[in-house]
Structure 1
Amino acid sequence: MNGDSSGEFVAAPGVTAEAERARSHRRRPLALLGLAVVAGALGLGIYSGIRARSAADTALRQTTAEAAISAVNVVSPKPGEPTREVQLPGTTQAFTDAPIFARTSGYLKRWYFDIGAHVKEGQLLAEIDAPEVDQQLQQARADLETAQANLRQAQITADRWQALLESDSVSKQETDQAVSTLSATKATVDSNAANVRRLEQLQGFEKIHAPFDGVITARNTDIGALIDAGSATAGRELFHMAAIHRLRVFVAVPEVYSRAARSGASATLTLDEFPGRTFHGTLVRNANAIDLASRTLLVEVDVDNPQGELLPGAYVFVHLQLPREIPSVTVPANTLLFRAEGLQVGVVRNGQAQLVPVTVGHDYGTTVEILTGLQPTDQVIVAPSDSLTSGTRVRIAGAPPPGTGK
């Protein structure tokens, strides 16, 4: 029994070692799997961290790049009108304006019309009392009758001497003297007749008539006033008349707008006393020469005034239409850049700013006319920075940033 017991005791350790090895073999794959899981988790963590940092760096670079691109506001140029209106000041003048002077001396007997009166051609305006002229006319008529009587006597004498000459009853010398006396008497009659006509005309000037249809704008005399003939004495005009059925407007057109001063062209007039109303006129003539002192072209515009609404001497604005020979556009005035190279504007092309030289035409205040350098399809930068240069990357304000896909 002792031997059996010792055999069992010896066999027990072998069985245990075998079991331990079996268990070790079973635990090794599990350990390797655990190590693999841990290594995978660690690698995944490292990869995720590196990827997140790379994405953050990329986003930061993109944000920085986008922040470096300036946002600008743009405007599209507006096409110019086919014609441009030029507004120039002018003054209305009566179509016919004349002072009325006396052609004979005397005293004013009576006057019939005062200022503001509308008169017709030939109407009697005033009468002058000139007794000296009347007496001179009577004397001249008497002298004419005397000369005519002498002429008749000279005619009879000349005829008689010529008849006697045929029978040689008188000499040729005496007959020639009689004929010469007849000729001299005829000349005396003609002279006296001319003097009578002259005095009759002077007497006719005692009545002052209106030379044309118009309105009396001034009366500078009164009953009993001494009247001096002629216009040599300043301030002695009796009346002043103006024809206002049509008015003239003389306008000084600057040389740069002289192309608008074409004879036959239409023009419109506006006056401050007629707000909202326009009057139409016609450009009838121009001086065809530039004034050297003012560099302007004198133009006459005629305006019909049948109702007499427009008054001579009124201040008016004359609107002339100037055709455009060069197509133009208009842009806001705050788009201009004043550089040493001249006037420029910034335009956005392919995401970059480009500085374009331009030629300015008319300045309208808040906007300016651009003759060359821009097209209606351009995108012009509003209020550009003074440091803006060609090639600078810009983006239009309100547009999605590039690369967003929106």
Structure 2
Amino acid sequence: MAFTKRKALLGVVAALTASNLTACKSAAPPVTEVPTVPVANVTPATLENDLTVSAEFRPYQEVDVMAKISGYVKNIRVDIGDRVHQGDILATLEVPEIQDDKAKARAGVAVAEANVVTAQAAVQQASAATNMAHLSFQRIRDVAARDKGLVPRQEVDVAQSRDMEATARLASANSAVKAAKQAKLAADSEYARAEAMMQYATIRAPFSGVITKRYANTGSMIQAGTSSQTQAMPIVRLAQNDLLRLTLPVPVSAVSEVKNGQAVDVNLANPRRTLQGTITRSSNTVQMATRTMETEVDVPNRDGSLVPGMYAEVHLHLAARPNVLSVPLDAVEGLGTSIQQAYVVRGGVVHLIPIVVGLQTATRVEILSGLQSGDRVIVGRHTGLSDGEKVDAHPATYESTSSRS
């Protein structure tokens, strides 16, 4: 009985084995799955590389107006918000010691002039005495030569000595005139210095602008604004606001594209408007801390509608390429490196093509060589793809249809 059951069980196992073998022989081979990839077309487009940076308006020039000399403020004629022109009087200082110095210098000039007159008169006297002594010597010498023995030799020598002494006195008088004239020049210089210092008591505007701060009032003691007087108080602060500066931090990647005279758009938020400007100057050096180069744009402000401290967005038009072949940024493998490639789908097969790129914008990149108009390139991630692989290509959903990027 047991043997019969065992035999029946072996029969069932054999039947199942035969059935499985038959099924394996009749099953079809597995089908390899073809990956689906997003593609974009290589199309002509106009590419523009724009840079937008924020900047703050600053006065074209601004200065704290200091006093050249120390004194008390006699009167101050301006206040915050007043517009002044170059040369206008801002304040006047009371400096009595400078007035005394000026009077002393004027007296010194008068003394020097009198000394010049006295020295010139002495020259005339010495010149007359010299002429007389010379004539006397010539006469005695002539008589002594004509009538020998008539005039003693001693008298001839005395006359000659007097002639020489008179000549020396004349030379001394001429030197005294020169010294008196030099003293007159020194006195004139001292008077001019006192006069100039007196003029410094009147504080004038160094350029046309607006008074933005007033430090002093009538009666304030003002120290001379020299380098050794670090605590000297200014009179006012003056800012030139009819022309403003915008200082732009241009990143190092765009430094080579920035040129003086380049047009920029200055966008204001309040009130909303756009001004046209040009790049006026740049530092021509990159700051190591920020990796940016300071670039300035001058913005006219004749109507005074712009106020220093306001912010603006500046759009720099760095480069433009009209009607050039381009692809989306993520279609290029190795962008920014020395080896750049694109995966091109032709006839359902992937081809890895070396390319050369040009201008790069925020979304697209110019193709200089390697691709043709109408080629389909794989966008997005390229991991797992290989040259010669079959793929199922479908247009990318974000592919731009615009001709401008």
CA contact (8 A) 1:103 1:230 kept: yes
Q: Against the structure 1 CA distance between its residues 388 and 317, is the aligned structure 2 distance closer, same or farther, given a 3 Å change threshold?
A: same
Measured against aligned partners, the alpha-carbon deviations of 1:220-246 in whole angstroms (never above 9, x if no partner) come to 222211111233223522222222222
Q: What pairs up with 1:148-163 in 2 under 5 angstroms? A: 148-163=113-128
Paired position in structure 2 for 1:219: 214
Pick from 116, 138, 155 the counterpart of residue 103 of structure 2.
Answer: 138
Once the two structures are aligned, what percentage of the paired residues are identical?
28
Paired position in structure 1 for 2:174: 179
Pick from 197, 207, 211 the counterpart of residue 202 of structure 2.
Answer: 207
Asked if 1:104 is matched to 2:100, the reply is no
Measured against aligned partners, the alpha-carbon deviations of 1:309-348 in whole angstroms (never above 9, x if no partner) come to 3333444433222225795624264x57789x98765443
Paired position in structure 2 for 1:189: 184
Unmatched runs of 5 consecutive residues or more in structure 2:
1-25, 134-161, 396-405
CA contact (8 A) 2:40 2:327 kept: no
Separation (CA, whole Å) in 2 of partners of 1:371 and 1:112:
66
Separation (CA, whole Å) in 2 of partners of 1:231 and 1:207:
17
Q: Against the structure 1 CA distance between its residues 116 and 80, is the aligned structure 2 distance closer, same or farther, given a 3 Å change threshold?
A: farther
Give the 3-state SS of the residue equivalent to 2:46 in structure 1: coil
Separation (CA, whole Å) in 2 of partners of 1:309 and 1:253:
26
Q: Which protein has greater RCO, CA pairs closer than 8 Å, 6+ apart?
A: 2
CA contact (8 A) 2:43 2:374 kept: no
Give the CA deviation at 1:394. 3.2
Paired position in structure 2 for 1:13: none
Unmatched runs of 5 consecutive residues or more in structure 1:
1-56, 399-406
Separation (CA, whole Å) in 2 of partners of 1:295 and 1:139:
61
Asked if 1:242 is matched to 2:212, the reply is no
Give the CA deviation at 1:382. 4.9
Separation (CA, whole Å) in 1 of partners of 2:383 and 2:287:
42
Separation (CA, whole Å) in 2 of partners of 1:256 and 1:113:
47
Q: Against the structure 1 CA distance between its residues 392 and 117, is the aligned structure 2 distance closer, same or farther, given a 3 Å change threshold?
A: same
Separation (CA, whole Å) in 1 of partners of 2:282 and 2:382:
48
Q: Give the stretch that moved more between structures: 152-161 or 167-176.
A: 167-176
Q: Give the stretch that moved more between structures: 161-170 or 321-330.
A: 321-330
Give the 3-state SS of the residue equivalent to 1:329 in structure 2: strand
Q: Give the stretch that moved more between structures: 74-83 or 261-270.
A: 74-83
CA contact (8 A) 1:337 1:386 kept: no
Q: What pairs up with 1:282-293 in 2 under 5 angstroms? A: 282-288=278-284
CA contact (8 A) 2:47 2:366 kept: no
Separation (CA, whole Å) in 1 of partners of 2:94 and 2:235:
14
Q: Against the structure 1 CA distance between its residues 384 and 128, is the aligned structure 2 distance closer, same or farther, given a 3 Å change threshold?
A: closer
Asked if 1:257 is matched to 2:222, the reply is no
Asked if 1:85 is matched to 2:59, the reply is no
Q: What pairs up with 1:240-389 in 2 under 5 angstroms? A: 240-275=237-272, 277-288=273-284, 296-324=292-320, 327=324, 329-331=326-328, 333=330, 346-356=343-353, 362=360, 364=362, 367-369=363-365, 371=367, 374-383=371-380, 386-389=383-386
Q: Which residue identity lines up with residue 265 of structure 1 in the other structure?
A: Q
CA contact (8 A) 2:86 2:208 kept: yes
CA contact (8 A) 1:231 1:237 kept: no
CA contact (8 A) 2:41 2:327 kept: no
Q: Against the structure 1 CA distance between its residues 116 and 220, is the aligned structure 2 distance closer, same or farther, given a 3 Å change threshold?
A: same
Q: Against the structure 1 CA distance between its residues 178 and 331, is the aligned structure 2 distance closer, same or farther, given a 3 Å change threshold?
A: same
The structure with the larger Rg is 1
Give the CA deviation at 1:174. 2.4
Asked if 1:166 is matched to 2:131, the reply is yes
Measured against aligned partners, the alpha-carbon deviations of 1:170-218 in whole angstroms (never above 9, x if no partner) come to 7222222322222222222211111111111111111111121111222
Q: Against the structure 1 CA distance between its residues 345 and 270, is the aligned structure 2 distance closer, same or farther, given a 3 Å change threshold?
A: same
Measured against aligned partners, the alpha-carbon deviations of 1:366-406 in whole angstroms (never above 9, x if no partner) come to x35355655552223455674333333333459xxxxxxxx
Give the CA deviation at 1:165. 1.4
Paired position in structure 2 for 1:74: 39
Give the CA deviation at 1:131. 0.8
Q: Against the structure 1 CA distance between its residues 190 and 257, is the aligned structure 2 distance closer, same or farther, given a 3 Å change threshold?
A: same
RMSD: 3.6
Q: Which residue identity lines up with residue 243 of structure 1 in the other structure?
A: Q
Separation (CA, whole Å) in 2 of partners of 1:313 and 1:71:
55
Q: Against the structure 1 CA distance between its residues 297 and 384, is the aligned structure 2 distance closer, same or farther, given a 3 Å change threshold?
A: closer
Count of residue correspondences: 333
Separation (CA, whole Å) in 2 of partners of 1:244 and 1:94:
5
Separation (CA, whole Å) in 2 of partners of 1:385 and 1:256:
27
Give the 3-state SS of the residue equivalent to 1:103 in structure 2: coil
Give the CA deviation at 1:137. 0.9
Give the CA deviation at 1:134. 0.9
Q: Which residue identity lines up with residue 365 of structure 2 in the other structure?
A: E
Q: Which residue identity lines up with residue 185 of structure 2 in the other structure?
A: D
Q: Against the structure 1 CA distance between its residues 187 and 397, is the aligned structure 2 distance closer, same or farther, given a 3 Å change threshold?
A: closer
Q: Against the structure 1 CA distance between its residues 153 and 323, is the aligned structure 2 distance closer, same or farther, given a 3 Å change threshold?
A: same
Q: Which residue identity lines up with residue 384 of structure 2 in the other structure?
A: S
Q: Give the stretch that moved more between structures: 381-390 or 158-167.
A: 381-390
Separation (CA, whole Å) in 1 of partners of 2:211 and 2:259:
34
